[in-house]
């Protein structure tokens, strides 16, 4: 079976597993007073080229909730795209963590928050209109839920609007590294240098076991979020096993290599599919996801080859999402490419639907 | 160095580590649709001798918050002991998870919730007195924060009061197994058969990496808590690594063996200390913790032997907490015993204070 | 000046003021233990033809927040129209009161929640999809934010969908009576007989000083909401002054007479405007609001006659809202009619914009 | 019948009623855009001798919840006396408004927060101890729940501790004026000049219908609390009727005269009772409340004279609370004095118990 349902189905990368084994020798201080966690801020400060505060979380949902709560009062409005993971797949985590901030869904042609739509919506808000919530956060997903990557200037433009309205810019970086290597940018460039105030830094989809993190660039927010982090039950007693993953993830450029591999796999799949009869890509393939319209006979034929992926939920019947992973076996990718090129579209099979990713 | 500061400093048990390695082979369905999680409810239903629903969480703080929120409305009162971990060491997680329920601290001679104090306090509440919150939960810690173990009849008596006031009985079982083996009871006897409605089941202190769980015994609560679990960011994408730990924890009776070992270590340390000049146990040693009054020269002498543990925060200078672990090296325990027996009380050293455990 | 900006600008009806004066004689028991409040449930039970529980609130925003919180868990989804007052003009009260429930905005051609849109959206939710919130409430406004009135069968159809998804149907009745007299229905028919589970009963816009109420039709919700009502600071110490208004409001059919007058005034204004050159009604006039497209010269001419009302915020320049009140002086209505008929469209004036009503 | 159960049983003062009638003439702008509200901040700025922002609320519970939420994050600790109204009689309003801040009850000999107890408790908190909540607010009640009045230097001492720990000092001034006239201080002296950051200003017990207010002394808090005020449903549509009361309350020194009268009545009752056989005052009488130990025959005899008041709930049988009001008829006070002096202690009668005041 070839499954491209989601990158979070992948096993843990062997280097991460090794890191866990290495830190499993004898006792270590609890609640982050261990040697691994002691290095965490320094390692990430170097990575981001400025003082950086790292708050490990077990899931991206927790990271997003925590990050938004640190920036939005309960009466805050969080402007985001209707397709955002925080909207469609986190069961209201931002509302829970913030105590009732509201997600305001912006209209958009594609999967990115657009400056025009944001500015237009902001016209309904302001200090003289307290019947509406207080603008607090702009939240974007990098790469987006449709596999697109915001350019540095697109991020900077949103950061500028956020700043001019006393809002913060949050980046949900569940696939941060896939976007980063696509842009060829530095972590600093793709975040605070472009106006990002707070980042949900994802690593689980790209090879760790369960280590996401909220990355904070200012001391005041860090001082506040420490309490929220503990209060939500996200401060691990055996924190070393989280910190060790976050450190090992960067060692030897593991993170970039993995993301490059995943993106390459997506490109190969996209290229093969594009050449098939009646198939068309729905979005440019920039990270590790392929969104593709497949005629029923094509999808049936792929299923017949035991090639699986998901229907994209919010759309009409022919749109599918294929997610490539760093862990895909290159031989299997080649087999899939061959299968696509030799598609026999006469057999029908079932295809799962799910949009939680 | 011999550290008895906390059992959550211990490394992960090798059998747990093996389980993690074993489930790290190839992709698996995400968000709990994997094979390990599929077995979880069945395995724990067998353990508890009735239909049981398991919600893995990364920390005990998250488990307690989640469990209490599932039982208390935002306007609910949660009756508990003033020493409770939920009071002293979770930064308000129950308030956060529940949306503002209140912890009502009951007076007590020792570390257990007493029926008399509970009944007396309940006199201030009721449907005709809505100026107070609504009684919702009684929460007890098994073993208690002072290492005591509620007997089955003590639990049952609290369960009876809870039921008669339409409240739920929550058990914070951070050291569930240490208490269980002390009582020689079954999991069913120590929980639902004694009136416990919901359980925070701890495994991390007793050998896993980060797997706690809320154990639910009724379908309606399980149907509700699923949403709360996801919403708080506690539903792991790579859930298999949590479920595999919770399953391996029970295999070959690992959990009981580990708890028996920890309790035995505590007994040995307590016995050795009791024999020392001027030393007195503050509480009976029933689980894996020793609370002991140490004259300054004694504590200094122990520090001189590089034997470390914590001052107990809320009390006068001479009270200390010693926590034994399954992972303590028996040779080291023997060395510590010998050191205690040959105490030289002439040298002074620093001792850490911390009550978060 | 003739102001039709909002019906909540009206003074208190003399009969209501008399009621306040009458109950201002000597001491009375506090917190609702007074004689007026003692009659409240009975009076409204008779009105609604079944056991009814009344929770007075000082504002409609508080009533809506309270009612929704009583029906939606924090992880609940509240389906409503994008124009709803709870969406556009209450600063997130439903989120605050419920602890983070989410308002899900349904697409609609007009200002009513449509069964088709509701059913379609519900397809994204369900017990097997906990990545989304739990469907909890359908909330409708009667009369709607565009002055339309749901028919009994429209309400019943929504009630049926709500019930079949284990949701509750909430009615924001800020202009309850204006809708009621339009339909010629009984309060029972327009609420619980059509599937409404909980009602925000408005009286302030129709003549009281500040008495809204949550009307509850079942004992379990009433038992819960009592705590929420007190906890939010809505239980008045001198409750008699609220209850007396709610009772006087019904006496001698004051409420119906006032609503009929307001609706009639709206009809007269609508009719006069419809006849004017270039003017067109945007919505049928069913309650006491007129939504009308006015060419700039017309609106300027009206302003020149000192006739004021508001631009309707979310729409293009020519749409205006005119709200009639029970308190409008019939002579003034006649003057305005004459002014409209004799419109001189040569002079320009400013017009306020505001959608909080 | 002579009832001294609570000052909130009193009718509305005729001057307040007149003010309501005076502002009931024709339409006025809604949501605080009216002429009365326009003057509110100016009137109170003059009263408090600095820029002051006034947020009317319908109850003291709402005022306290709002004030605390404006000063405490959800993870904040609010230090207060165990007898505080916010603890015993508001059904968790501070937790609700703040999203889960915790009330930390300080031990005390009497009804005042003591600097020693506060400082001792603060030793358990701090930036290096995030397992506990973040110190955020000290809340005191002036006059206290036992009728005592904090001196200016007592307030200042607490204000100093608050400031040195980056906390805010909140005053619950449900009986603000009764305390003020006892001290002979200015409003400025009793609040911001003594370190009070935010005030719940009570007027209802002292003669209005339902007008309390949060008084804010700094712009940043005012900018934040506006949203919270609206969001909680406390921004009245017909705000003029609240603002008019708050203005009339000060006119002609009505507020002081009423408080002086109430305090004087309490003094007279206290004096008469003190002289009775076996009766002893439990607390010095400083405001308008008398706490008194009454032997059963005495209380029975008073009941026989139809003189009613409440048993004080948290204490043993003989403690009673007598609350005097500005509205007590002086002739009745004289009759009660005579009745006390001529006590016939042979007849028994029922006495209500209630501590919500």
In the prediction, which pLDDT does B314 show?
Answer: 57
Point out the residue among B25, B28, B204 whose CB comes nearest to the CB of A237. B204
> Beta strands A310-311 and C307-308: pairing type?
unpaired
More confident residue, C276 or C169: C169
SS (H, E, C) chain A: CEECCCHHHCCCCHHHHHHHHHCCCCCCCCCCCCHHHHHHHHHHHHHHCCCCEEEEECCHHHHHHHHHHHHCCCCEEEEEECCCHHHHCCCCHHHHHHCCCEEEEECCCCCCCCHHHHHHHHCCCCCCCCCCCEEEEEEEECCCCCCCCCCHHHHHHHHHHHHHCCCEEEEEECCHHHHHHHHCCCHHHHCHHHCCCEEEECCHHHCCCCCEEEEECCHHHHHHHHHHHHHCCCCCCCCHHHHHHHHHCCHHHHHHHHHHHHHHHHHHHHHHHHCCCCCEECCCCCCCEEEEECCHHHHHHHHHCCEECEECCCCCCCEEEEECCCCCCHHHHHHHHHHHHCCCCCCCCCCCECCCC
What is the chain A residue with the closest CA to B309?
Answer: A29
- Residue B223 and residue B245: Cα distance in Å, rounded? 24
Mean pLDDT throughout D117-140?
A: 93
Residues 6+ apart with CB under 8 A from C35: C28, C240
pLDDT greater than 90 at residue A60: yes
A42 pLDDT tier (thresholds 50, 70, 90): very high
- Residue B120 and residue C93: Cα distance in Å, rounded? 37
Residue C347 in contact with partner chain A when CB distance is under 8 A: no
Residue D30 in contact with partner chain C when CB distance is under 8 A: yes
In the prediction, which pLDDT does B196 show?
Answer: 98
| The pair of three-digit structure tokens given for residue D37, joined into one six-digit string | 């509200």
| The pair of three-digit structure tokens given for residue B81, joined into one six-digit string | 């002991």
Helix (H, G, I), strand (E, B) or coil at C312: coil
Lowest mean pLDDT among A341-345, B118-122, C8-12, D78-82: A341-345
- Residue D269 and residue C19: Cα distance in Å, rounded? 34
Point out the residue among D9, D58, D65 whose CB comes nearest to the CB of C236. D58
pLDDT cut 70: percent of chain D above it = 95
Angle at C229 between CA C228 and CA C230, to 5 degrees: 95
pLDDT greater than 90 at residue D348: no
More confident residue, B347 or D210: D210
pLDDT cut 90: percent of chain A above it = 84
What is the chain A residue with the closest CA to B23?
Answer: A11
Beta carbon pairs, A and B, within 8 Å: 161
State the DSSP H helix or E strand holding residue C239, giving kind and residue range, or none if neither: none
Are the C-beta atoms of A212 and A223 separated by less than 8 Å? no
- D54 DSSP β-pair partners: D215
In the prediction, which pLDDT does C314 show?
Answer: 57
In the prediction, which pLDDT does D315 show?
Answer: 58
C320 pLDDT tier (thresholds 50, 70, 90): very high
Lowest mean pLDDT among A147-151, A236-240, B294-298, C280-284: B294-298
Q: What value does the mean pLDDT of chain D take?
A: 93
Q: Which of B29, B70, B99, B220 to mutate to test the interface with C (most CBs of C within 10 A)?
A: B99
In the prediction, which pLDDT does D1 show?
Answer: 73
> Which chain D residues are within 8 Å of A73, Cβ to Cβ?
224, 227
Point out the residue among D74, D134, D227 whose CB comes nearest to the CB of A130. D227
Q: Which of D55, D100, D225, D237 to mutate to test the interface with C (most CBs of C within 10 A)?
A: D237
Residue B7 in contact with partner chain A when CB distance is under 8 A: no
State the DSSP H helix or E strand holding residue D81, giving kind and residue range, or none if neither: strand D76-81
DSSP one-letter string for C163-232? HHTT-EEEEEETTHHHHHHHHT--HHHHTGGGT--EEEE--GGGT-SS-EEEEE-SHHHHHHHHHHHHHT
Are the C-beta atoms of D215 and D53 separated by less than 8 Å? yes
What is the chain B residue with the closest CA to D356?
Answer: B131
- Residue D321 and residue D340: Cα distance in Å, rounded? 16
| The pair of three-digit structure tokens given for residue B157, joined into one six-digit string | 């008596």
Residue A75 in contact with partner chain C when CB distance is under 8 A: yes
Residue C6 in contact with partner chain A when CB distance is under 8 A: no
The position carrying tokens 């007008």 is D211
CA distance B19 to chain A (A): 12
Q: How many CB atoms lie within 10 A of CB C209?
A: 26
Helix residue spans in D205-329 (DSSP H): 219-231, 240-248, 254-274, 296-304
Q: How many CB atoms lie within 10 A of CB B9?
A: 24
Helix (H, G, I), strand (E, B) or coil at B257: helix
CB contact under 8 A, A30 and B17: no
CB contact under 8 A, D133 and B91: yes
| Burial label, A297 (beta-carbon count in 10 A; 0-12, 13-18, 19+) | middle
- Residue C211 and residue C55: Cα distance in Å, rounded? 10
In the prediction, which pLDDT does A348 show?
Answer: 42
CA distance A285 to chain C (A): 26
CB contact under 8 A, B95 and D102: yes
- Residue A203 and residue A44: Cα distance in Å, rounded? 13
D351 pLDDT tier (thresholds 50, 70, 90): very low
In the prediction, which pLDDT does A108 show?
Answer: 86
In the prediction, which pLDDT does D126 show?
Answer: 83
CB contact under 8 A, B30 and A8: yes
Q: What is the pLDDT of residues D166-206, one digit of tens each?
A: 999 999 999 999 999 999 999 999 999 999 999 999 999 99
State the DSSP H helix or E strand holding residue B197, giving kind and residue range, or none if neither: none
Judged by phi (left if over 0) then psi (alpha if -120 to 50, else beta), residue D194 lies in alpha
Residue B226 in contact with partner chain C when CB distance is under 8 A: yes
Tell me the CB-side half-sphere exposure of residue B239, using CA atoms within 13 A. 25
Chains that touch D (3 or more CB pairs under 8 A): A, B, C
Return residues 260-319 of B near D (CB < 8 Å). Answer: 313-314
pLDDT greater than 70 at residue D318: yes
pLDDT greater than 70 at residue D354: no
In the prediction, which pLDDT does C315 show?
Answer: 58
In the prediction, which pLDDT does A299 show?
Answer: 87
Q: How many CB atoms lie within 10 A of CB B152?
A: 15
C113 pLDDT tier (thresholds 50, 70, 90): very high
Which candidate, B263, B259, B256, places its Cα nearest to that of B290? Answer: B263
Point out the residue among D90, D98, D99 whose CB comes nearest to the CB of B131. D90
Point out the residue among B12, B210, B227 whose CB comes nearest to the CB of A91. B227
What is the chain B residue with the closest CA to C100?
Answer: B99
| The pair of three-digit structure tokens given for residue D194, joined into one six-digit string | 């003594």
Residue C74 in contact with partner chain D when CB distance is under 8 A: no
Distance of CA C36 to the CA centre of its chain: 24
CB contact under 8 A, B91 and A27: no
- Rounded to two decimals, what is the model's pTM? 0.96
Q: What is the pLDDT of residues C25-70, one digit of tens each?
A: 999 999 999 999 999 999 999 999 999 999 999 999 999 999 999 9
What is the chain B residue with the closest CA to C101?
Answer: B231
> Which chain B residues are within 8 Å of A209, Cβ to Cβ?
20, 238, 241
pLDDT greater than 60 at residue C142: yes
Helix (H, G, I), strand (E, B) or coil at C139: strand
Mean pLDDT throughout C193-205?
A: 98
In the prediction, which pLDDT does C344 show?
Answer: 64
Are the C-beta atoms of D179 and D154 separated by less than 8 Å? no
The position carrying tokens 């599937």 is C195
CB contact under 8 A, C65 and D232: yes
Point out the residue among A12, A26, A236 whose CB comes nearest to the CB of B59. A236
CB contact under 8 A, B96 and D91: no
Judged by phi (left if over 0) then psi (alpha if -120 to 50, else beta), residue A91 lies in left
| The pair of three-digit structure tokens given for residue B320, joined into one six-digit string | 């200390």
- Residue C252 and residue C177: Cα distance in Å, rounded? 15
Residue B133 in contact with partner chain C when CB distance is under 8 A: yes
Q: What is the pLDDT of residues D293-310, one digit of tens each?
A: 999 888 888 999 899 899
Residue A132 in contact with partner chain C when CB distance is under 8 A: yes
Mean pLDDT throughout D224-248?
A: 98
On whether ipTM exceeds 0.90, the answer is yes
Which candidate, A10, A28, A1, A92, places its Cα nearest to that of A243? Answer: A28
Low-confidence ranges of chain B (pLDDT < 50): 347-357
SS (H, E, C) C28-47: CCCCCCCHHHHHHHHHHHHH
Residue D133 in contact with partner chain B when CB distance is under 8 A: yes
pLDDT greater than 70 at residue D314: no
More confident residue, D286 or B340: D286
In the prediction, which pLDDT does D277 show?
Answer: 86
Return residues 309-328 of A near B (CB < 8 Å). Answer: 325, 327
Residues 6+ apart with CB under 8 A from B108: B81, B82, B114, B117
Q: Is the peptide bond before B143 cis (omega within 30 degrees of 0)?
A: yes
CA distance A55 to chain D (A): 14
Beta carbon pairs, A and D, within 8 Å: 40
> Which chain D residues are within 8 Å of A230, Cβ to Cβ?
130-131
The position carrying tokens 């353990």 is B47
pLDDT greater than 90 at residue C322: yes
- Residue B215 and residue C280: Cα distance in Å, rounded? 63
In the prediction, which pLDDT does A346 show?
Answer: 53
- Residue B79 and residue B57: Cα distance in Å, rounded? 23
Are the C-beta atoms of A95 and C101 separated by less than 8 Å? yes
Residue B89 in contact with partner chain A when CB distance is under 8 A: no
């Amino acid at each position: 079976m070839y499954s491209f349902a989601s990158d979070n189905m992948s096993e843990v990368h062997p280097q991460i597993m090794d890191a866990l084994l290495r830190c499993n020798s004898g006792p270590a201080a609890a609640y982050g007073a261990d040697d691994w966690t002691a290095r965490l801020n320094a390692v990430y400060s170097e990575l981001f080229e400025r003082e950086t505060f790292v708050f490990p979380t077990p899931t991206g949902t927790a990271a997003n909730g925590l990050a938004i709560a640190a920036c939005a009062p309960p009466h805050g409005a969080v402007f985001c795209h209707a397709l955002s993971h925080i909207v469609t797949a986190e069961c209201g985590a931002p509302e829970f963590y913030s105590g009732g901030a509201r997600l305001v869904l912006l209209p958009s042609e594609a999967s990115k928050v657009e400056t025009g739509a944001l500015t237009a919506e902001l016209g309904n808000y302001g200090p003289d209109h307290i019947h509406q919530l207080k603008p607090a956060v702009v939240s974007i997903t990098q790469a987006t839920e449709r596999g697109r990557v915001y350019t540095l200037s697109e991020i900077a433009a949103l950061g500028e609007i956020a700043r001019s309205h006393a809002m913060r810019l949050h980046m949900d970086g569940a696939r941060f590294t896939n976007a980063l290597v696509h842009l060829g940018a530095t972590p600093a460039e793709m975040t605070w240098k472009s106006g990002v105030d707070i980042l949900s830094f994802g690593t689980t989809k790209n090879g760790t076991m369960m280590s996401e993190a909220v990355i904070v660039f200012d001391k005041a927010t860090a001082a506040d979020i420490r309490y929220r982090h503990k209060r939500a039950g996200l401060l691990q007693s055996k924190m070393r096993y989280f910190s060790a993953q976050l450190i090992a993830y960067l060692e030897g450029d593991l993170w970039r290599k993995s993301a490059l591999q995943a993106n390459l796999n997506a490109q190969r799949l996209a290229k093969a599919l594009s050449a098939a009869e009646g198939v068309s890509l729905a979005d440019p393939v920039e990270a590790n996801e392929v969104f593709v319209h497949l005629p029923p006979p094509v999808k049936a034929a792929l299923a017949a080859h035991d090639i699986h992926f998901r229907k994209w939920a919010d759309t009409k019947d022919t749109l599918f999402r294929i997610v490539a992973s760093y862990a895909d076996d290159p031989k299997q990718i080649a087999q899939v490419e061959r299968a696509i090129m030799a598609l026999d579209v006469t057999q029908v099979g079932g295809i799962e639907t799910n949009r939680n990713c």
